[in-house]
């Protein structure tokens, strides 16, 4: 009898200790760590307009930078309480998993394999491929390009999928691949290419910077979601970031998101509807 009671008592103590450790771990999660530190540490890029790049004065700017400031505002009511760690694209996941940054916001495409390594937030942008034209050029829009068939030359950034990607939209077009973005656009500017296949975000950025020079062919394909990423296993931190992004997309911080979207893409995103939530 006494032995049984003693075992149950030890088990109760063990459960209490486990619960205490769990509560301590929860209290010391990333959200509490960031709040105690007084600033948010964000991994991002510095060479990819309009997401994260240096302006003429050397200041880090872009849509991802503005999104990070929205998160800092949600944490500290101060969008400037954020430290940016500029990183290459192949460092986005390692810097999260090793704790070098609190979060990565860097035009990061959500994929199932990546989701095995990091926890993705809700998407904040839907990327895709679009066709950039010279305004007043030989072809007015996507329909004209497609009708021209093999007479059309499309410039694109070189990669193993470039040709098949272009042919998914323009099956008969000639595909001219370049090893950097500058040369790809140069081919369009010099009229050696009739169109350039590029990210929809880049197209919007170029058109905003040069409204009299470029035109959108009016067709997009190959959709993909951009999300921020955090370390796996911290539900409170992920929930906070998701809440902050959701409120920027459709809630009380929509004006901040709208201003950033207009600044970098030159268009206004759909306004949240009042009433039953979408």
Residues 34 and 92 in one domain: yes
Q: What is the pLDDT of residue 27?
A: 55
Residues 87, 157: Cα–Cα separation, whole Å: 21
Residues 152 and 163 in one domain: yes
Residues 77 and 101 in one domain: yes
Write out the residue range of the structural domain in which residue 175 sits: 126-225
Q: What is the pLDDT of residue 28?
A: 80
Tell which residue, 117, 82, 116, 88, has the closest CA to residue 102: 82
Residues 221 and 130 in one domain: yes
Number of folded domains in the chain?
2
16 within a domain of the structure (yes/no): no
DSSP 270: P
Residues 35 and 116 in one domain: yes
72 within a domain of the structure (yes/no): yes
Residues 87 and 218 in one domain: no
Residues 56, 18: Cα–Cα separation, whole Å: 55
Encode the chain (278 residues) as per-residue pLDDT tens digits. Answer: 333 334 334 444 444 444 444 444 445 899 999 999 999 999 999 999 999 999 999 999 999 999 999 999 999 999 999 999 999 999 999 999 999 999 999 999 999 999 999 999 999 999 999 999 999 999 999 999 999 999 999 999 999 999 999 999 999 999 999 999 899 999 999 999 999 999 999 999 999 999 899 999 999 999 999 999 999 999 999 999 999 999 999 999 999 999 999 999 999 999 999 998 87
Residues 101 and 134 in one domain: no
Residues 214 and 233 in one domain: no
Residues 106 and 134 in one domain: no
Q: What is the pLDDT of residue 72?
A: 98
Q: What is the pLDDT of residue 276?
A: 85
pTM of the model: 0.86
Here the CATH number for the domain that contains residue 82 is 3.40.190.10
* φ and ψ of 248, to 5 deg: -75, -35
Residues 131 and 216 in one domain: yes
Residues 161 and 204 in one domain: yes
Beta-carbon contacts of 132 under 8 Å, excluding residues fewer than 6 positions away, are: 188, 195, 196, 197, 198, 202, 203, 206, 207, 214, 215, 216, 217
78 within a domain of the structure (yes/no): yes
Q: What is the pLDDT of residue 11?
A: 45
- Name the token pair of 110: 């959500």
């Amino acid at each position: 009898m006494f032995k049984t009671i003693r075992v149950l008592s030890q088990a109760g103590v063990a459960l209490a200790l486990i619960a205490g450790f769990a509560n301590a771990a929860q209290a010391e999660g990333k959200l509490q760590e960031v709040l105690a530190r007084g600033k948010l540490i964000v991994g991002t890029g510095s060479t990819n307009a309009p997401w994260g790049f240096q302006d003429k004065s050397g200041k880090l700017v872009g849509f991802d930078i503005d999104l990070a400031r929205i998160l800092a505002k949600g944490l500290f009511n101060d969008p400037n309480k954020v430290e940016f760690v500029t990183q290459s694209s192949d460092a986005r996941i390692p810097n999260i998993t090793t704790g070098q940054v609190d979060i990565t916001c860097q035009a990061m495409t959500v994929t199932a394999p990546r989701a095995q390594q990091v926890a993705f937030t809700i998407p904040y942008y839907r990327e895709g491929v679009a066709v950039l034209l010279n305004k007043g050029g030989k072809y007015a829009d996507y329909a004209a390009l497609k009708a021209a068939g093999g007479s059309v030359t499309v410039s694109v950034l070189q990669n193993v999928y470039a040709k098949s990607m272009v042919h998914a939209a323009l099956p008969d077009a000639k595909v001219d691949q370049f090893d950097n973005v500058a040369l790809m656009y140069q081919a369009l500017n010099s009229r050696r290419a009739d169109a350039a296949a590029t990210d929809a975000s880049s197209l919007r950025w170029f058109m905003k910077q040069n409204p009299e020079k470029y035109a959108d062919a009016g067709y997009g394909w190959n959709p993909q979601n951009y999300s921020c990423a955090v370390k796996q296993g911290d539900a409170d931190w992920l929930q906070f970031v998701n809440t902050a992004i959701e409120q920027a997309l459709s809630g009380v911080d929509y004006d901040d998101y709208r201003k950033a979207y207009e600044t970098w893409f030159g268009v206004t995103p759909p306004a949240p509807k009042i009433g039953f939530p979408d």
